[in-house]
Structure 1
Amino acid sequence: MAILLDGRKVAEAILRPVRQQVLDLKKKKIVPCLAIILVGEEPESLIYIRQKVKKAEEIGVRVRVFKFSEQTTETEIEKLLEKLNKNPKIHGIMVQLPLPSHLNPDEILSAIVPEKDVDGLTPHSFYPPACAAGIMKILEFYRLSVNNKKVVILGYGRVVGKPLFKLMKEAGAKVATADIKDVDVLRSADVLVGALPIKDVIKPEMVKRGVIVIDAAKNVSVGVEKVASYLTPKIGGVGPMTVAMLLKNLVRASQRQQLKHRP
């Protein structure tokens, strides 16, 4: 039976010093503030935003959510981003993904200045990608090294797969990406990361005994816990760590900008 990798426990360890940093900033009359851009009313996106707002409030950070209709244009979003980039009271900006199909995420994300890209999704961001870095921190917390291990990432998306591939490589892993049809590749994994936007696609027969499974997108179906050695739960796994790393990046951004604007 797999040992559960408790993302909430790791997130609390990450946020403990961040809480103190927020208090220190407040003594200097600086309240870290995150701007979230939401386009449309996608139910999962609304849930994720509520989670971010709740945790931010717990550590004393402000969040402002800017909502656009699903029919909005890139120009409208970029106009707002230009204002937020220049606003010294906004320390971090993130765009809640996915966006409607008529919008180009690369164009929109690239309009965020690097020092405020706290989700870490652009090539020039000053901060590590929140979700991918959160996964690496979970493994580090539980002392699960990926050095020389075969890591297979199911999916190669902007938020998880692509940035995680880079971080895993840097950690010395032998990294491969796979599709759900690549069963032999999936079975070869020492560490398997589920990052596809499809629920319950990783079945017990698709993984080898003793594999470490990181479920970043609710990909893991019932029964995998009987085969894996370690597993992140669907709730309380990767999600809390993504939020923790986002808030850690936000506070770092606030500190940087405070030094930049200091007289």
Structure 2
Amino acid sequence: MLLLGKEIANKIIEELKPVAARQKRCLAIVQVGQNEVSSSYVRKKQEKAAELGVKVKLERLTDSLSENELNKAVSKVAAQEEVDGMIVQLPLPSHVAMQAVLDCIPPEKDVDVLSSSAFGKFVLGGLMQPPVVSAVARLLQEARVKLQGSEVTVVGAGRLVGLPLAIWLIQQKATVHMATAHTKNLAALTKKSDIVISGAGRPYLIQGGMIKKGVVVIDVGAALDNNQIKGDVDTESVEKVARAVAPVPGGVGPLTVAYLLRNLFSL
């Protein structure tokens, strides 16, 4: 079974329309450098924001900026009175400290829940979740998964996907295995897991031979492969073994955008 997020995401957008009619919002997006995967996600956010009448201010910055210059630029956008919520589109150039940049976003405008302050509240059980967490949670709900006591492998410990998902899964009383680039035997973890969630950004990393029958697999990875955005999961081989698969594209992505906009109206 394929877990597709588009229909659910459209329902969320429809539910937000009465609220959006009463509350005008402005979303600022800061994008640093040229990254086609990031640009694709920015376009999708712009499209869905337009459906709700949300004004989007896209600030494109060169990746040659120093860390100090980038922090000042992000802080300047955040200080604009008309901006109700903002995001810094990841990834960022390797020469800047990512968390320092994200911490330039005031918590009251942090729709991605990535600043230290907003993320700390989430870790301690705050109501606002990172959009990717809400998206994965909704797909697992659709798959009728019981998280308490389940063994879950999260592939990739990144700040945007792996880390917040691992924390949320622990909150749900799942047994969580974290796999990083230094994990020696990934298949040993995935083969014993009831749920596999991958956000490593490595196309075809997760193959059907690496999972047990009846598992639920959620693909949250994204990378360019032959000029196409591909996920971490080889859907064709995995679908033959798994009970349910959320593919890329079409799975988590649409829901992540919808929940980001829901966060914007919840600030």
TM-score scaled to structure 1, two decimals?
0.89
4+ aligned runs moved over 4 Å, structure 1: none
Distance 2:158 2:74 in 1: 23
| In 1: Cα distance, 2:220 partner to 2:75 partner | 31
Give the structure 2 partner of residue 153 of structure 1. 154
For residues 1-263 of structure 1, the aligned pairs below 5 Å read 3-25=1-23, 31-125=24-118, 127-179=128-180, 181-217=185-221, 218-221=231-234, 222-253=236-267
Query: Aligned residues: percent identity?
Result: 35
SS in 2 for 1:235: coil
Name which of structure 1's ranges 180-189 and 76-85 shifts more when overlaid on structure 2: 76-85
8 Å CA contact retained: 2:75, 2:104: yes
1:28 maps to which residue? Answer: none
CA RMSD of superposed structures (Å): 1.4
Q: Higher mean Cα deviation, 226-235 or 117-126?
A: 117-126
Equivalent position SS for 2:266: helix
Q: Report the residue type matching 1:238 in the other structure.
A: V
- Give, in whole Å, the separation in 1 of the partners of 2:41 and 2:2: 22
Do the aligned residues in 1 keep the contact of 2:99 with 2:116 (CA within 8 Å)?
A: no
Secondary structure, aligned partner of 2:176? strand
Structure 2's unaligned 5+ residue stretches are 122-127, 222-230
CA contact (8 A) 2:25 2:265 kept: yes
Look up the equivalent residue of 2:109 and give its one-letter code.
K
Deviations 1:51-92 (A, max 9, x none): 111111112211111011120122222223323333221011
- Calculate the TM-score normalised by the size of structure 2: 0.88
Q: 1 CA distance for matches of 2:186 and 2:53?
A: 45
Distance 1:232 1:141 in 2: 11
Query: Deviations along 1:30-68, whole A, 9 cap, x unmatched?
Result: x21111111111111111111111111112211111011
**Which amino acid counterpart does residue 224 of structure 1 have in structure 2?**
V
What one-letter code is carried by the residue in structure 1 that aligns with 2:190? L
CA deviation map 1:76-127 (0-9, x unaligned): 2222332333322101111111111111111000111111110111232173
SS at match of 1:17: helix
For residues 143 and 23 of structure 1, the distance between their equivalents in structure 2, rounded to whole angstroms, comes to 34
- CA–CA separation in structure 1 for the residues paired with 2:52 and 2:232: 30
CA distance in 1, matches of 2:145, 2:258: 20
